[in-house]
Structure 1
Amino acid sequence: MSVHHARRRRAGRVAAATALALVATLAAAQPGLAAGSTEPKPGVETVAGIDPALTAGRGATVPFVEQEAENATYTGDLVGPDRTPYTLPSEASGRKAVKLDAAGEYVQYTLTKPANAVTLRYAIPDAPAGGGLTGPIDVAVNGIKLTSATLTSQFSWLYGTYPFSNDPQADPNKDWWLTECGCVPSATTPAPVFDKPFRPFHYYAEKRIPLVVPLKKGDTVRFTVPKTNKLDWVVLDVADFEQVGLPKLPPRKSVNAWLYGADPTGRKSSADALDKAIAAGKKLQVPVYIPPGTYKVDRHLVVDKVTVVGAGNWWTTLTGDGVGVYGKYVEDGGSTDVHLADFSIIGNTRDRVDDDQVNGVGGALGGGSTVERLFIQHTKVGMWFDGPFSGLTVKDNIIVDQIADGLNLRRGISNATVTNNFIRGTGDDGLAMWSHGVSTPAQDADHDNVFSHNTVLNPALANNIAIYGGHDNEVANNVVADPVREGSGLHAGARFSAVPFSGRTTFADNTTVRASTFDLNWKIGLGAIWLYALEGPVKGVDVTGDHYLDNGYNAIMMVSEWGVKDLYGIDDVHFSDVQVDGAGTSVVSARAFGSASFTNVDVRNVGWAGVNNCGAFGFPATGSEFSLVDGGGNDGTDGNPWEVGRNWFTPFVPNAITCNDRPPVVTPPAPSTW
């Protein structure tokens, strides 16, 4: 036996022993916990804040159970529902949360399944000068205090205009579009005075908390503001309860990062040691195993033709300023056959600087590469890939608390599958394909990619899922909810210098929840799905089997920017087998020239007219410049005041003008099974 193999085998035994020691408290029950004094409510499981039956077969299959604070037992105050930007409830899951502002106030959950860990989504105030505060929250199980957790706002609270800042006294970017506050002057008027802090947003953060003892169905977990707390308030949003398994042991043939000096205590940098381990794994063609621990990594780890695995994303953590795992850039040859799995990447990014490469996973990872079961938090973008390249699978990951996007496929990426990922609390698009035009459409178009069975929640800015140009891409079986401002649940936009849409873009069997927002610049409601012709036409879009639930305004929005309304339209768009349950104003709002067909679109709980058709605002005597094609089977009534019980669609075919962008909004009832 070689010395190298002997060391590797001994290291594996050490890793196993360490792993078992780390989980001893999770593996052993603690008897004698008394029942709490307050009669708890039964646990209520939700997905995106609604009954899981309404999203069955869609979204990510996750290892945890979601429970909303507003459905639990609590002694604080309910905040919300509210969909108004720059408010705490608007950014909360389900648009509601519970505010605790006095010592002893609590939220108590009753478990619906066994668990030994919880992820708590919360908000606390920022420091007056920015930079965040910290404060404690007590955790009790069945009435007995178990531990205290430290909450922080150091990674939340952004202010101002793009690219945003964590400084509440920062001036907004005067070159940015500011009409939402009515403060853009003409060339002859004095400069406006801006209130400070200007537009605070991105309030929430997440905390992973081991519960130490294994809990069973019916046990209670209470989060209480302790007497030592100095925060003015704590808002609890949602708790995800999880049964975390034992750490994964090293593959039988692998390189152990400890052999190369990686420090699991996080006291010294492990970047060089991990580089050496990765080089050895690549040379020997065996996986690199990173045992349980927290490893300080203050730069990128560059990977190519190598497998890097941890003990599980609750057990192995890479953290530090600038931490990230990157493929080589295309200009440097790109990376292929890379496989990343079962660890966490937790960064230290506190404001948005778009030129900074502080993403969790990045570069070019093609040629059959996979990224699986990672947990990524506090980076600028969870995963940002730069093409052109082909052949990537991203699945079963959790991405939370990002300053910008959750995941972005930028420029010429093809045959990528992004599936079964859970994304929450981004500061820009949750998932995006961006066909960034920097050379030729043939090279720059994203194409033949799939976003499927993902759950994307609570983007504080922009869209849950967005497609910018390209061809033959698919968005299918996703659950998206609660965008806040300047975006919708599902989006196809000719913007951001994207190459033109061509081929077919498909949205199929997605569910949106509370995804129609009010655009503060246009001062109109967007749609749960939003097609936007800004820098070119939008065409070739097929929408099949989507469910649009609890829409504040419109379910479907098709719009061109005013300055180009006579240049760029929306055409060759087809909606079929769609359900709309709740629209505060209309099912369809068209503010462009072009056409779309509708077949078997069933609706209910529509607040105003079924169709708002302004066309290109020429208002010709022949009717709107936007035509509706009736494929049949469009059932349900709208809430128009002229003919009660009228079909939502047929009176507007082919192009009746009914232009009212701001009718009275009727808040829809909660969605229910059809």
Structure 2
Amino acid sequence: MSVDDTPLTAPTPRTSRRTRTAALVAAGVTASAALLGPAATAAPAPEDRPAASPYPAGTAGAELPFVSQEAESAASEGSAVGPDYTQGTLASEASGRRAVKLAAGQGVEFTLSAAANAVNVAYSLPDGQTSTLEVYANGEKLDRGIALTSKYSYVDTPWIAGAKTHHLFDNARLLLGRDLAAGDKVKLVATGETTVDVADFEQVAPAAEAPAGAVSVLDKGADPSGEQDSTQAFREAIAAARGGTVWIPAGDFRLTSALSGVEDVTLQGAGAWHSVVHSSRFLDQSGSAGQVHLKDFAVLGEVTERVDSSPDNFVNGSLGAGSSVSGMWLQHLKVGLWLMGTNDGLVVEDNRILDMTADGLNLNGTAKNVTVRNNFLRNTGDDALAMWSLNTTNSDSSFENNTVSQPNLANGIAIYGGRDITVKDNLVLDTNALGSGIALSNQKFMDPFFPLAGTLTVSGNTLVRTGAMNPNWQHPMGALRVDSYDSAIEATVNITGTTATDSPYGVFEFVSGGGTGKEVRNVTVDGAVIERAGTVAVQAETPGEVKFSKVTASGLGAAGIWNCPFPEGSGTFTLTDGGGNEGWDTTWEDCAGWPAPGGGR
């Protein structure tokens, strides 16, 4: 889901200034300007430091089976794209806000840092085009190339205020047919204009064997060539395997309608590179007795636009209690998992979710004790990972050790209401347009909604180039946002161990996104490291009080604090000093204007 405020009238900004404060305890400065006030021109991106991998090493994020390399860090005959944070541009949606544009005949060459026999490439083509990347291994042209298309890109969502044409990149994969070693070179040569962003190199295991006693979909008449419809064969195999395993061997299988009535069964493939199901609606059911286990195959859809009324999802509805989803490759769907009904105790782990036109995963109320961990998500068209407490509350559920890259319309991770929720050890990179890296929000969207309650634990997360200029608000959203949009924040919110690097604007934002001045309280921020931010460390826009301890900052572009609650007279925002804070003891005092990203980046 995405923030869709209507912008308010913007005042004329005054000359900006900043002052040094004696302590972090601040009497809230009342804004004379509207919260959704004056437009700021997005500044050029910071001079990012290219690295072989876009995903920094550390405890945060998923443990991935592949090694990613940025095209701009490789040897290239093409031209540089970016850096740029301007919504609707290629660079703004690229990993690291940079990529390489190749003309026909030009190439980009990667030197492998580990063994690999497969590659997945994030790329963009001009709208309406198809093309190919020819592949060379150590100078030898392979007999197979990577087919490219723009059909899944250039998504328009005019019903979402502030959304421009987005989803400019796509992913395509190829088994190389040979084993390469560290130090070997792989060159990708364009046959037509192609922008290359990232290449993921992987050593893919051979296709697995069927477990003993499994019911193969082939035994029920499924066609592994993908030419014939295998829907009925899958249904019969599921019915026959109740209490056991349905085996999906290596091959391509085409389903023309969704599966339902799935319970007490495992659907298992030979590996996500080998067992491929072509379906835009894989499982659609409102209820299940549970114990559904989906593992080790790919589901590739044909969703080319976002239609919110259509269940164009891998899972739509309920898997039932005690279920799991693991080892999946999900691509070209509207949503990976849109989970309603009963999903108590669900575990979603070790999956790749790519190129969704909307959310990667959304726990849409009733989720209890759900764990979502060690997943990789790239290029989602809305929130990559979300919990939305609609109809009933999500509770005791967690997002842990996930890597989220390039959500191109909304947030990396969003918690809309819910009780006793944990968001820990995740890595979020390169958010765009309407989103923060992490959002904790009481924006309800619809009723009945259950606001944040109990204790929210937000710990050990790393945010890289997150936050964006909101085109509706006409002001920036922080890397980590706490939003009392439709109701005050009354839950206990503990934010610990955050690392925020190269934030294009502010880092910690406290806001009532509806512009009604609802309070943010019971929040503590403890042990954060801020390295380079375009504007401020703390962006306070609504009344309340937050305690900060051991928060250190360097390379701030404007000041330490922007403290301007809206609406005028709604109250003050107090920053309480818990000790150990360093590097952000200045205040931006011009509440009529937003600081443009400064030289501190």
Same fold (TM over 0.5): yes
- Which of 465, 475, 496 is the matching residue for 2:423? 475
Q: Is 1:625 paired with 2:582?
A: no
Please list the CA deviations of residues 531-586 of structure 1 after superposition, one character each: whole Å capped at 9, or x if unmatched: 12221112321100011111111011111136422xx2211111001111111111
How do 1:76-475 and structure 2 match up within 5 A?
A: 76-101=78-103, 103-127=104-128, 133-146=129-142, 147-162=144-159, 177=161, 199-226=164-191, 229=192, 233-282=193-242, 285-302=243-260, 303-320=262-279, 322-326=280-284, 328-330=285-287, 334-436=288-390, 438=391, 444-475=392-423
Whichever residue aligns with residue 122 of structure 1, its letter is Y
Alpha-carbon shift at residue 145 of structure 1 (Å): 0.9
- Which of 482, 490, 503 is the matching residue for 2:454? 503
Q: Equivalent residue of 1:241, what SS?
A: strand
RMSD over aligned CA atoms reads 1.7
Alpha-carbon shift at residue 46 of structure 1 (Å): 1.3
Alpha-carbon shift at residue 661 of structure 1 (Å): 4.7
* Separation (CA, whole Å) in 2 of partners of 1:68 and 1:660: 40
Please list the CA deviations of residues 503-556 of structure 1 after superposition, one character each: whole Å capped at 9, or x if unmatched: 111210000000021112222221100112221112321100011111111011
For the Cα contact (< 8 Å) 2:516–2:567, is it kept in 1? no
Alpha-carbon shift at residue 660 of structure 1 (Å): 5.8
Alpha-carbon shift at residue 662 of structure 1 (Å): 1.3
For the Cα contact (< 8 Å) 1:574–1:597, is it kept in 2? yes
Match of 2:44 in 1: none
* Separation (CA, whole Å) in 2 of partners of 1:584 and 1:660: 18
Alpha-carbon shift at residue 335 of structure 1 (Å): 3.6
* Separation (CA, whole Å) in 2 of partners of 1:569 and 1:508: 23
Whichever residue aligns with residue 151 of structure 1, its letter is L
- Which of 521, 525, 528 is the matching residue for 2:479? 528
* Separation (CA, whole Å) in 2 of partners of 1:342 and 1:211: 20
Q: Is 1:664 paired with 2:586?
A: no
Match of 1:555 in 2: 507
Whichever residue aligns with residue 340 of structure 1, its letter is L
* Separation (CA, whole Å) in 1 of partners of 2:499 and 2:51: 23
Q: Equivalent residue of 2:218, what SS?
A: helix
Alpha-carbon shift at residue 177 of structure 1 (Å): 3.7
Match of 2:46 in 1: none
* Separation (CA, whole Å) in 1 of partners of 2:592 and 2:501: 22
* Separation (CA, whole Å) in 2 of partners of 1:241 and 1:447: 37
* Separation (CA, whole Å) in 2 of partners of 1:380 and 1:237: 22
For the Cα contact (< 8 Å) 1:552–1:667, is it kept in 2? no
Unmatched segments (≥5 aa) in structure 1: 1-42, 128-132, 163-175, 181-198, 439-443, 637-647, 670-674
Please list the CA deviations of residues 100-133 of structure 1 after superposition, one character each: whole Å capped at 9, or x if unmatched: 12x2211110101010000000000112xxxxx2
* Separation (CA, whole Å) in 1 of partners of 2:508 and 2:599: 17
Q: Sort the Cα spacing of 1:505 and 1:661 in 2 relative to 1 into closer, same or farther, 3 A.
A: farther
Q: Equivalent residue of 1:94, what SS?
A: helix
Match of 1:493 in 2: 441
* Separation (CA, whole Å) in 1 of partners of 2:600 and 2:337: 36
* Separation (CA, whole Å) in 2 of partners of 1:548 and 1:111: 29
Q: Sort the Cα spacing of 1:576 and 1:658 in 2 relative to 1 into closer, same or farther, 3 A.
A: farther
For the Cα contact (< 8 Å) 2:157–2:306, is it kept in 1? no
Q: Sort the Cα spacing of 1:561 and 1:59 in 2 relative to 1 into closer, same or farther, 3 A.
A: closer
Please list the CA deviations of residues 401-438 of structure 1 after superposition, one character each: whole Å capped at 9, or x if unmatched: 000000000012110000000000000000000001x3
Alpha-carbon shift at residue 668 of structure 1 (Å): 4.6
For the Cα contact (< 8 Å) 1:612–1:660, is it kept in 2? no
* Separation (CA, whole Å) in 2 of partners of 1:491 and 1:269: 42
* Separation (CA, whole Å) in 2 of partners of 1:562 and 1:202: 27
When the two structures are aligned, how many residues end up with a matched partner? 546
Whichever residue aligns with residue 198 of structure 2, its letter is V
Match of 2:26 in 1: none
* Separation (CA, whole Å) in 2 of partners of 1:403 and 1:242: 25
Q: Sort the Cα spacing of 1:667 and 1:274 in 2 relative to 1 into closer, same or farther, 3 A.
A: farther
Match of 1:635 in 2: 582
Please list the CA deviations of residues 159-215 of structure 1 after superposition, one character each: whole Å capped at 9, or x if unmatched: 3523xxxxxxxxxxxxx645x9xxxxxxxxxxxxxxxxxx32211000011111110
Match of 2:536 in 1: 586
* Separation (CA, whole Å) in 1 of partners of 2:434 and 2:342: 28
Larger Rg: 1
TM-score (norm 1): 0.79
* Separation (CA, whole Å) in 2 of partners of 1:388 and 1:94: 38
